Amino acid sequence: MGQEANIQPSGVRGFDAHHPPAGELIDKCVHCGFCLPVCPTYVLWKEEMDSPRGRIYLMKMAADGAADINETWVSHFDACLGCMACMTACPSGVDYGKLIEATRAQIERRYTRSPAEIRFRRFLFSTFTRPGRLRALMLPVRLYQRTGIQAFIRRLAIPKLLPARWQVMESLLPEVPAQESIPEVIPAQGKRRYRVGLLLGCVQRVFFAQVNTATARVLSAEGCEVVAPAAQPCCGALLVHAGEEERAAQLARRMIDVFEKAQVDAVIINAAGCGSNVKEYAHLLRDDPQYAKRAEAFAAKCRDITEFLAELDTRVARHPLRLRVAYHDACHLQHAQGIRMQPRALLRGIPELELVEIPESAVCCGSAGIYNLVQPEAAAELGDRKAGNVAAVEPDVVVSGNPGCLLQLQSALARAGKDVPVRHTIELLDASIRGIRL
């Protein structure tokens, strides 16, 4: 460890020639600053270089060969949540999403991280992108929780002795459910309207298996035959957002193969981060002569579950749920996919449910893929801020459409001493259709 501390991460000047952040996208920024008040890192630190405008300026400098990709330069991009709030706010239509994705891929090729950082990231990617491995890892974790060892260790504040990142990981651990697998084909109830594919996700599949079950049940009740291929891989969202372009492309190709074989009318996603990623497969595979067109066709079929249901005529009755519900907008739904009204409309369709808005709804909760694991302090600050805003509206339950947000909200609310249940939007809809209590 002592030796590692002496190794300085190195850097080189400018970008390489493989898909650098596009000059025409960079030049669209007119430096107006409208994006600054919605950028979580600018809101926290008031540093120009930790704002979208500042980061675009840093990209421009590197593109012009005027900046080294060194530790300081990289730190401003590592601090970016990739939440895309800046894109919603930008009047000039700057596609910051494509810019940050290209920049991060450059960083991973041209910058050498410290050995400890490399090991940590390797661990995250080799675990969170492999549902089989993640599931196997959760068996001892479940034992750790169910035997009361976790509660005992927490009472003694032992997790506080761990390094910050491992502390966060321990605090984010939800109660791991029994691992249930979903049948590969679930028939439609009544006359079949569509045959749809269900993307199972990695974190969703292992930590929130009940969300996939609820999604399939709602789709089936609404007349859709649901196909959930067991062979589907991770969608690669975490890898894309971390600049691991080639590994993400390999997963994208496998995903396309699997769902082409399933022959579905639409591919339904219930995790915002996965949804925004698969909708961008055509961009990721644009240079691949075998997959570019197929990626376009696949992406055109992808729908968030709330987006799909909002377009479908309701067939089954909703039963009342007398609950005050706060809806938390996941960034990769509201900013990356522009989905804001659909989840609210579905919730408003539940009789007796009272929907309340959370203040600062455009600001990220700090989850952002692996952000809360690699940038624990900033993520915790944002989580605490979000927990305060949720608590201020005194809901019976808070709902969202992304597993990362669910984990982050659960952990931040617990830290704040607030006993507010956190659920996926589809779980409320499922409970309403079945006429059961949440």
Binding site for ligand SF4 (CB under 6 A): 29-35, 38-41, 52-53, 55-56, 80-86, 89-90, 92, 94, 96
Is 199 within 8 Å of 308 (Cβ atoms)?
Answer: no
Query: Where do we find the tokens 């952000």?
Result: 371
Residues 42 and 50: beta-carbon distance below 8 Å: yes
> Whole-number minimum distance, CB 84 to ligand SF4, in Å?
5
d(CA 72, CA 96): 20
* Four-CA torsion 332, 358, 383, 342, nearest 10 degrees: -20
Reading the block at residue 92, the tokens are 């000039």
Q: Which is nearer to ligand SF4, 34 or 166 (CB)?
A: 34
In the complex, minimum distance from the CB of residue 341 to ligand SF4, in angstroms, rounded to a whole number: 21
Closer of 52 and 229 to ligand SF4 (Cβ): 52
User: What's the closest the beta carbon of residue 371 comes to ligand SF4, in angstroms?
Assistant: 9
For tokens 């079945």, name the residue.
434
Q: H-type helices in 36-130, by residue range? A: 40-45, 52-63, 71-78, 85-89, 96-110, 115-128
Farthest CA pair distance, the chain: 67
CB of 21 to ligand SF4, least distance (A): 13
- Where are any strands of DSSP class E within 166-286? 185-186, 194-199, 224-227, 266-269
- Amino acid found at 370: I
CB 414 to ligand SF4: min, Å: 25
- Residue among 233 and 366 whose Cβ is closer to ligand SF4: 366
For ligand SF4, which is the closer residue by CB, 74 or 90?
90
18-31: string of b/e by CB count within 10 Å (b at 16+)? ebbbeeebbebbee
Encoded tokens for 91 = 């009047």
Specify whether the CB–CB gap between 92 and 29 falls below 8 A.
yes
Helix, strand, coil share (%) of the chain residues, nearest 5? 55, 10, 40
CB closer to ligand SF4, 82 vs 243: 82
How many whole angstroms from its chain centre is CA 298?
20
| Sheet strands side by side (includes 194-199) | 185-186, 224-227, 194-199, 266-269, 302-304
* Min dist. Cβ of residue 96 to ligand SF4 (A): 5
* Closest CB to ligand SF4 among residues 48, 108: 48
Cα–Cα distance, 108 to 340 (Å, whole number): 33
CB of 83 to ligand SF4, least distance (A): 4
Q: How far is CA 251 from the centre of its chain?
A: 17
Query: Is 242 or 431 the residue whose CB approaches ligand SF4 more closely?
Result: 242
Neighbour tally for 184: CB within 10 Å: 13
By C-beta, is 99 or 196 nearer to ligand SF4? Answer: 99
Q: Residue 382 CB, nearest distance to ligand SF4 (Å)?
A: 10
Toward ligand SF4, which CB reaches closer, 90 or 199?
90
CB of 288 to ligand SF4, least distance (A): 27
Nearer of residues 287 and 377 to ligand SF4, judged by Cβ: 377
Q: How far apart are CA 39 and CA 180, in angstroms?
A: 39
Helix/strand number for the chain, H first, E second: 25, 9
In the chain, the amino acid numbered 143 is L
Give the nearer residue to ligand SF4 in terms of CB position, either 228 or 368.
Answer: 368
> Smallest gap, in angstroms, from Cβ of residue 325 to ligand SF4?
26
Q: How far is the CB of 99 from ligand SF4 (least distance, A)?
A: 9
Structure tokens that stand for 125 in this block: 């990617």
